[in-house]
Chain A
Amino acid sequence: MTKQTHPLARATLPGLEARYRAEIRFKYIGLVAVAFSLVFLFFLIGGIAIKGVGAFFKTDVQLEITKELIAEHGSDSYTLLRETLLYNLPEAKGRLGHKDAYKMIAAGADDELEKVMANLGETSDIFKVWLPVSDTIDMAYKADLAEDMLGTLTASQQKWLQSWADNGRLRMSFNWNFLTKGDSRDPERAGIGGAFLGSVMSLLVCLILSFIVGIFAAIYLEEFAPKNKLTAFLEVNINNLATVPSIIFGLLGLAVFLNLFGLPRSSAIVGGMVLSLMTLPTIIITSRVSLQAVPPSIREAALGLGASQIQAVFHHVLPLAIPGMLTGTILGMARALGETAPLLMIGMVAFIVDPPLGFMDPATALPVQVFLWSDSPERAFAEKTSGAILVLLVFLLFMNLTAILLRKKLEKKW
């Protein structure tokens, strides 16, 4: 006797088996896709983090300075540094030997030495000071004196490095200069402070311009503009603008803002204006969507009470739409932050050493800095590039987090 099937069992309905199989198949395809992208992301961020973390640290060497050296060269830190090096590396003989010795220390170390000297008490015969080493030594030490990193050093430099490492005269410290200083030809002196400031300034200009213009454009188009052929045409073109390649906006900025208006080349204000051209369509579109999402019953309620159109929009519709608008704006800003191409067109790709102090000053931006460094031949710039990418990613993360928190806070209210 065969077992009787339950009248509500799956097998009683033909085709149900296949439906369930399709559902399970779909679920697994989704899981695989998610896993794939997670692995990708992990390798991307992990790789950059491992490479870039070194940029935030520098190697210092402890050098001895005698009273006699200070007495002789105290007023000239550049010569003092050189003589100090020769004193600490007595094996350095001849012009080439001296040159090797000088190349052990960072290019900006004489400034550091001057600062140290200013705070030195006159108590002993020999002072010990910590000074940053040059980029090649720094890279070799960070790689634990691995063979492939020693290749650029001369035999005597390798020997000195080995002896410094063996005698415990090397230490790692946080590289504040990387975060605060501007660009430099010397990797040990190069920092992203200038690029960071340039990015912040450009974004500020971009935010002010595109937020105000974008939101008012969206409110007008959505709530007040008559629905006719002209507004339909406008809508299509705003959507088209959102898809225009960003370099075109850069060209437009070059032609209009620089050549026609005569605004200063490479400046944060022009960068911000070009970026706002690019983010404006995005902001208008997301703002209109969030306005459309407000139920019409709210508008009717306000209008039914005798509120004017403006009152209905600003008292009731806008407060409900603003979280969505802000999220759209911040996401647009995040895109603008990562944008490189339009900035190249308006000269923000220039080699700029001093961090910008005003909106009219020459500046560069984080992604452009990444682009510039990735092109540099010095090995240490590879590390700096990854470090700059990390800073850019953290900045982006911070902006997206702000968007989420802002949204939560504003939506929670009711």
Chain B
Amino acid sequence: MSILKKVEIGEELVLNKKIIAKNVCVSYGELQVLHNVNLEISSNRVTALIGPSGCGKTTFLRCLNRMNDLIPSCRLKGSITLDGFDIYDKSVDVEVLRRRVGMVFQKPNPFPKSIYENVAYGPRIHGLAKDKAALDVAVEKSLRRAGLWDEVKDRLDAPGTSLSGGQQQRLCIARAIAIEPEIILMDEPCSALDPIATARIEELIHELKERYTIIIVTHSMQQAARVSDYTAFFHLGDLVEKGETATIFTNPKDERTEAYITGRIG
């Protein structure tokens, strides 16, 4: 719990830089996939990570809540701090970290349980709701914030897997925000969705950034341009360029960035 205690000090230290990655190198066995990545993530903003396939953007995202710990061969050098504290420190408990850094995956992956159970699971395991009534409130709040409440309020007992793809992804977002994280990592959340469902999720991201810091990996440059405040462009494991989205898209400094956003590589 040391992390939670140190939150206030950390916030003062780094002002509105929520996450700071310094000289991050990641390798899977012999293969190095990220080279010296330096990136700051601003609080209550949407940061988009773009780049061609295999450039390491998903790897970087998964380092932020240590999901890469699941891959035995994965090694990380450098430091990533959350509110000024190293998340790869020995005293860090990954469950506490993931409680604060939630994640939404590429493919909607609701649990094969009811809609209610899907959202209630997080608060339940973390003991966030004292009783059934509090849990009901938490579930409704999360579903409302994810813009799904009106569609599912009459069938909370229906299996989460019975929803459409877009609804499932919003359910996963509701599930992620039910534990009140500070940061939400989104790994290509719209890649399996049709344009209408995508638009719905993008709207949602706009609404969510008031409360949460959002980092989104996307293949679609239009999406990055639409939803993000900051953009980081990855290419072959290097962070090539970072900055305000408007600047990156209108006035890229690096020629690789320019080539990518104009569609010449990628």
Chain A residues close to B by CB (< 8 Å): 226-227, 295, 297-298, 300-308, 311, 315-316, 319-320, 414
Q: Report which of B70, B107, B125, B161 forms a contact with A305, defined as CB distance below 8 A.
A: B125
Please tell me if the beta carbons of B111 and A301 are within 8 angstroms of each other in the complex.
yes
Please tell me if the beta carbons of B112 and A307 are within 8 angstroms of each other in the complex.
no
Q: Which one of A297, A302, A304, A308 has the greatest number of beta carbons of chain B within 10 Å?
A: A304
Please tell me if the beta carbons of A300 and B109 are within 8 angstroms of each other in the complex.
yes
A-B contact pairs, 23 of them (CB 8 A): A226-B72, A297-B107, A301-B105, A301-B111, A301-B172, A301-B175, A302-B111, A305-B99, A305-B121, A305-B125, A305-B176, A305-B179, A306-B94, A306-B96, A306-B98, A306-B122, A307-B121, A307-B125, A308-B95, A311-B125, A315-B125, A316-B111, A319-B112
Smallest distance from the beta carbon of A258 to chain B beta carbons, Å? 44
Which residues of chain B are near A304, meaning CB under 8 Å? 65, 67, 98, 102-103, 105, 176
Please tell me if the beta carbons of A414 and B72 are within 8 angstroms of each other in the complex.
no
> How many residues of B are counted as interface, with CB atoms below 8 angstroms from the partner's CB atoms?
29
Question: Quick one: which of B102-143 are within 8 Å of A by CB?
Answer: 102-103, 105, 107, 109-113, 121-122, 125-126
In the complex, residue of chain B having the shortest beta-carbon distance to the beta carbon of A226:
B72
Please tell me if the beta carbons of B111 and A303 are within 8 angstroms of each other in the complex.
no
A-B pairs, 9 with minimum CB distance: A297-B109, A304-B103, A306-B99, A306-B98, A414-B112, A305-B122, A301-B109, A306-B95, A414-B159
CA distance A227 to B71 in the complex (A): 11
Please tell me if the beta carbons of B121 and A315 are within 8 angstroms of each other in the complex.
yes
Q: Which one of B94, B98, B109 has the greatest number of beta carbons of chain A within 10 Å?
A: B109
Which residues of chain B are near A301, meaning CB under 8 Å? 105, 109-111, 172, 175
Please tell me if the beta carbons of A414 and B105 are within 8 angstroms of each other in the complex.
no
Which residues of chain B are near A297, meaning CB under 8 Å? 105, 107, 109
CA distance A315 to B94 in the complex (A): 18
CA distance A293 to B148 in the complex (A): 30
Please tell me if the beta carbons of A306 and B126 are within 8 angstroms of each other in the complex.
yes
Which residues of chain A are near B126, meaning CB under 8 Å? 306
Given contacts A301-B111, A320-B112, A414-B159, contact A306 B179 (CB under 8 A): yes
